[in-house]
Homo-oligomer: A and B are copies of this chain.
């Protein structure tokens, strides 16, 4: 029965007592239900209380430093005002950036978020989703949707409000970049530079991102009358070692491709390493294009040409979309427009870089604010 008194925020006054609706009601000389209504954000509800009474209650609440108890509210309403977020890995700066956007937009709408890593592992995805649901989140933002898993379908069948982000899935509400277009931009860029023998590091087949970026790229070359043979398209993990291994294979082909498109910047960094190891020069002997334009891309010794995608904005939109759905509005998928940022990895010897060494770019943030 011993309950420690609720703690007040760092902000305002108040001493020890847990300030509840009843406290305010007593001081205002009204019933708690009136206080509840006066403090509600719902317009219709607050309309039920006289303006004068409402302002009195609100100033009183302010003075006492009242903060609604989420547990009480959640118990009564059945909604927790918490959103669950699933990502492959938070140490991946792409998803970390998306998550920052999600959290910012959610906070602006009065929601908190709880995030969990799934390592792109179907079993972990299920476990983490269940854990989030056990926490009674009001909805889910999934950043790790796999086309070879039925987890999303199951969740949808349970009528759990959810929005996909970064990756798409047919028939689901999602917020992504237009990966087909992004891949096409990469292809057209290389076509403009005169490349005819190109290869693709295509990422994991279960991720729509890799698949669609690859498809868009292939479309561009096919339409130009230079179809890319299947042997020049290899899948790989979305990381440095993955890109490196894939590129080692591609560079062993004869005739050797003059350009490689990697569907992810980290894989592209691995590609660049493999190019160097083969005794070739990135940008002159082999052009490299990445995807996402992470801050590091511009800071590399040979700055990386990359398709820039609005990651933070994607997160924001995903969160607001989900919140709208929770408010009864229908969810609508969005595809954001990517742009290509050309740098030395495709332009060495060209207008932007004449000596092939590159310099370190350096406008990029690549931040490390820790210590």
> What is the total number of copies of this protein in its complex?
2
Asked whether, in the complex, the Cβ of A369 is within 8 Å of the Cβ of B88, the reply is yes
Residue from the list B11, B131, B136, B277 in contact with A71, Cβ < 8 A: B136
Query: Any chain B CB within 8 A of the CB of A325?
Result: no
- With A69-B136, A107-B131 known to touch, is A360 a contact of B237 (CB < 8 Å)? no
A62-97 vs B, Cβ < 8 Å mask (1 yes, 0 no):
000001111110110110100000011111111111
A91 adjacent to B6 (CB under 8 Å):
no
Q: A126 vs B9: C-alpha distance in the bound complex, in angstroms?
A: 9
How far, in angstroms, from A296 to B91 measured CA to CA in the complex?
Answer: 12
A371 touches B10 (CB 8 A): no
Contact partners of A129 in chain B: CB under 8 A:
9-10
**How long is the Cα–Cα vector from A70 to B151 in the complex, in angstroms?**
24
**Known pairs A7-B133, A113-B114, A213-B371. 9 more at Cβ < 8 A?**
A11-B130, A68-B134, A70-B136, A87-B370, A90-B99, A92-B367, A207-B370, A277-B359, A300-B301
Q: Which residues of A approach B to under 8 Å, CB–CB?
A: 3-4, 6-11, 67-72, 74-75, 77-78, 80, 87-97, 99-100, 103, 107, 112-117, 119-120, 126, 129-131, 133-136, 143, 151, 154-155, 158-160, 166-167, 203-204, 207-210, 213, 237-241, 244, 263-267, 269-270, 272-273, 276-277, 292, 294-296, 299-301, 357, 359-360, 362-371
